[in-house]
């Protein structure tokens, strides 16, 4: 029986591509990649909807090394889509033998994304993957030259599709036909495509050499202020953010809270000066219920230790905020 590995991003297109192959009687196993910048939750949910087994591959460290200096550069933000897709294809290609699979399928659609899915970019990705003769793009196959799999009869080319461009009408119609209802928006779940996250990541890469997982984890939360080369302040926006960010904090990080008012939990990460500590207190005042008070008492200390230090400050002004905030 013909067998294929389906690269699952967690979006609708990759799910439809896998379903299209399953409907040809091909056994399909989903492969989802997990990194510091995207997870597997959507792929797991989508695979269940088409009754397809899924393996999650964590390639966080290798992926991050590529993100630092991608061969083919970045997209609009910090997204190295061409290098990323090629890396995923290379991983998938190396897994063909393990699963005794014949080829790889992806959900790419010609010209859906102007930079990473034009004809030239699709060809580059195939070449860079190292498995160019094993890659099939079922949703736009009829717009491309026949693959080895089609020519050898493993796949019926007539049952493949010729989708092109940014319209989602064909995909949405297929989803309705196949009963696929719970799918995410086409924006995707990659943090590298988000402008604010990308600016924070660029700042981190510029300021720190030995970056660890927790450095990347905190980038997802709150407002970020770059106060010096070695210190950054983060102000959480919600109680949920304050709870979630704690998984990335260490005993070297400082925590600030307004003593008498509800509001943001503020954190200093890095080597803070007395001026940095005072400014963190002022930010804490700015994002608490007492921000209009003449003076606000702030309690602070190191994470997982008593907040037994106190400071009275005036809330930070808009001018001070705009001077240091990372968009």
pLDDT at 187 over 80: no
Residue 274 forms beta bridges with which residues? none
Residue 327 has pLDDT above 80, yes or no: no
Mean pLDDT of 216-242: 96
For the segment 202-207, the average pLDDT, to the nearest whole number, is 96
The torsion angles phi and psi of 29, rounded to 5 degrees, stand at -115, 125
Residue ranges in 105-153 assigned as alpha helix (H):
119-129, 148-151
Q: Indicate the pLDDT class of residue 114, thresholds 50, 70 and 90.
A: low
Q: Is 173 exposed, middle or buried (0-12, 13-18, 19+ CB in 10 A)?
A: exposed
Mean pLDDT, residues 267-281:
96
Q: Report the mean per-residue pLDDT for the chain.
A: 94
Q: What is the pLDDT of residues 136-169, one digit of tens each?
A: 999 999 999 999 999 999 999 999 999 998 888 9
pTM of the predicted model as reported, rounded to 2 decimal places: 0.89
Q: What is the pLDDT of residue 116?
A: 63
Q: Is 316 within 8 Å of 283 (Cβ atoms)? A: yes
Q: Worst-scoring range by mean pLDDT, 23-37, 106-120, 276-290?
A: 106-120
pLDDT in tens, 44-61: 999 999 999 999 999 999
What pLDDT score does 121 carry? 81
Taking only the tens place, the pLDDT of each residue in 1-54 is 899 999 999 999 999 999 999 999 999 999 999 999 999 999 999 999 999 999
CB 138 within 8 A of CB 17: yes
**117 has pLDDT over 80:** no
Provide the pLDDT for residue 120: 80
The side-by-side arrangement of strands in the sheet containing 254-258 is 309-313, 296-302, 254-258, 266-270, 231-235, 223-226, 325-326
pLDDT at 111: 79
List, in sequence order, every beta strand (DSSP E) within 168-290: 223-226, 231-235, 254-258, 266-270
* Mean pLDDT across 282-292: 97
Q: What are the structural domains of the chain?
A: 3-190 (3.40.50.620), 194-326 (no CATH)
């Amino acid at each position: 029986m013909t067998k294929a590995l389906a690269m699952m991003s967690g979006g609708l297109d990759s799910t439809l591509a896998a379903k299209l192959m399953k409907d040809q009687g091909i056994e399909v196993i989903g492969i989802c990649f997990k990194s510091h910048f995207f997870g597997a939750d959507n792929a797991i949910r989508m695979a269940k909807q088409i009754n397809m087994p899924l393996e999650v591959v964590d390639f966080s460290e290798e992926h991050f090394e590529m993100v630092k200096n991608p061969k083919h550069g970045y997209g609009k933000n910090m997204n190295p889509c061409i290098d990323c897709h090629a890396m995923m294809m290379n991983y998938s290609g190396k897994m063909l033998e393990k699963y005794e699979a014949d080829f790889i399928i992806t959900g790419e659609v010609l010209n859906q994304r102007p930079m990473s899915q034009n004809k030239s970019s699709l060809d580059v990705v195939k070449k860079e993957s190292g498995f160019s003769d094993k890659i099939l793009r079922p949703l736009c196959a009829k717009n491309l030259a026949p693959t080895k799999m089609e020519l050898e009869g493993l796949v019926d080319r007539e049952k493949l599709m010729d989708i092109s461009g940014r319209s989602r009408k064909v995909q949405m119609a297929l989803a309705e036909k196949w009963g696929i209802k719970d799918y995410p928006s086409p924006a995707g779940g990659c943090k590298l495509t988000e402008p604010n996250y990308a600016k924070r990541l660029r700042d981190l890469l510029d300021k720190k050499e030995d970056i660890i997982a927790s450095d990347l984890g905190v980038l997802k939360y709150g407002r970020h202020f770059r106060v010096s080369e070695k210190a950054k302040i983060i102000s959480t926006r919600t109680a949920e953010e304050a709870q979630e960010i704690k998984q990335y904090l260490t005993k070297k990080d400082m925590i600030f809270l307004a003593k008498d008012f509800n509001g943001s939990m503020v954190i200093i990460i890095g080597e803070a000066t007395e001026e940095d500590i005072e400014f963190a207190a002022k930010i804490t005042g700015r994002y608490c219920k007492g921000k209009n008070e003449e003076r606000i008492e702030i309690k602070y200390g190191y994470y997982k230790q008593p907040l037994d230090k106190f400071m009275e400050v005036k809330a930070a002004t808009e001018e001070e905020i705009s001077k240091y905030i990372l968009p």
